Structure 1
Amino acid sequence: MALTRKMLKAMGIEDEKVDQIIEEHVESIDGLKAERDRYKAGAEEAEGLRKQLEEAKAAGEGAGEYEEKYKAKCKELDDYRAKVDGEAAEREKRGLYRKLLEDAGIDPKRVDTVLKVSDLSKVSVKDGAIEGAEGIADGIKTEWADFIATTSTKGAPVPNPPKGDGGAAAPKNLREALHQRYDNKE
């Protein structure tokens, strides 16, 4: 499903927020397209070097030089792939950890702050879920207890409630009301 202004407006999101969401979405898509283009260019360059290597082998001269260039470019491409995969895994880990923080009850206004100072190197993701999420959630609840919003309040216990006569009864008519107001002055 495509992210459209119509869909966002149907969700009840304000126009200003819709524009912001669309701008951020366009930026992320442009970044992904740029990565794809670099990846494609690297693959094409590696393919071109492979063809040059085969031609040089057929000619019998300079084959070692092209083979080294080809292996270097293949290693560079593999390194780039690993980097892109690592970044994607890190984004996924941060998203899952954010969800875990929200589920633990951390105040939504403080989630980004907690994410910035959290050490995610010990967190591992397996099959689209954080491993040992229950234990991590318990640790979050103890370590970040100050950031967990309280949803209910409890009044202080009153061991000796005040004693009173319950006050005067409400007047039933105007006469009683006037009598009560002017006769009870001290």
Structure 2
Amino acid sequence: MALTRKFLKAMGVEDEKAEEIISAHVETVNSLKGERDDLQEQLEAAKQAQKPKAKQADPKPNEPGENPYKEQLEAEKKAFEKYKAQVEAEKAEEQKRGLYRKLLAEAGIDSKRIDSVLKVSDLSKVTVKDGAIEGAEDLVNGIKSDWADFIPVTETKGASVAKPPAGGGGKAAPKTLRDALHERYEQKG
């Protein structure tokens, strides 16, 4: 089954979340297609290298430049190291986003607005050390001031009344049953 907006909507996913899911899926598919194309090129290069060349002596393994397999191995090692660094950077960025998301929640940002705030936040200045964001308290204070409109008010105060209403308060309630009965039957009589 294909991952489509219609499928996500049928599952009850909000339109905003569905767009995020679709964009993340497109990025994943595009990167996989890029890797596939790179591997296809490498396969073609390997096939070309395996074709026997007419009247060529075996290359000496210790001489650089004459052994195509050694050069190919070095190129593969460099590509692998580059890929590994890219994966580590993506993991670090994802960890940073997750920690910043928690920081936004701790600051009191409405849970429905956290994704919106994350989209426009610049995380390049945020540093993570030992699984925690450095300077988290300063960031929370900055978040509270910058994103105050997204922090819901959970406490309401009534207006201060400078002059309370004048009214004498009426009669005091009877304190005993006898007084209550006496008051009731005197009024009817």
Shorter-chain TM-score bucket reads: 0.5 to 0.7
Alignment of 1:1-186 (within 5 A): 57-58=60-61, 63-167=66-170, 172=180, 176=184
Identical counterparts, % of pairs: 53
Q: SS at 1:161's partner residue?
A: coil
- For 2:122 and 2:84, the matched residues in 1 are separated by 25
CA RMSD in angstroms comes to: 3.7
The structure where helix makes up a greater share of residues is: 1
Confirm or deny: 8 A CA contact 1:123 1:130 kept in the other structure: yes
Q: What are the superposed Cα offsets for residues 3-30 of structure 1, whole Å, 9 maximum, x if unpaired?
A: xxxxxxxxxxxxx99xxxxxx9xxxxxx
Q: What are the superposed Cα offsets for residues 40-98 of structure 1, whole Å, 9 maximum, x if unpaired?
A: xx9xx9xxx9xx9xx96559797432222111111110111011111111110001000
- Normalized against structure 2, the TM-score is what? 0.58
Confirm or deny: 8 A CA contact 1:56 1:62 kept in the other structure: no
Q: Which structure would you say has the larger Rg?
A: 2
- For 1:61 and 1:148, the matched residues in 2 are separated by 64
Letter in 2 for 1:146: D
Unaligned runs of 5+ in 1: 1-15, 18-23, 25-30, 181-186
- For 1:61 and 1:131, the matched residues in 2 are separated by 48
Confirm or deny: 8 A CA contact 2:101 2:118 kept in the other structure: yes
Q: Would you say how many aligned residue pairs link Structure 1 and Structure 2?
A: 134
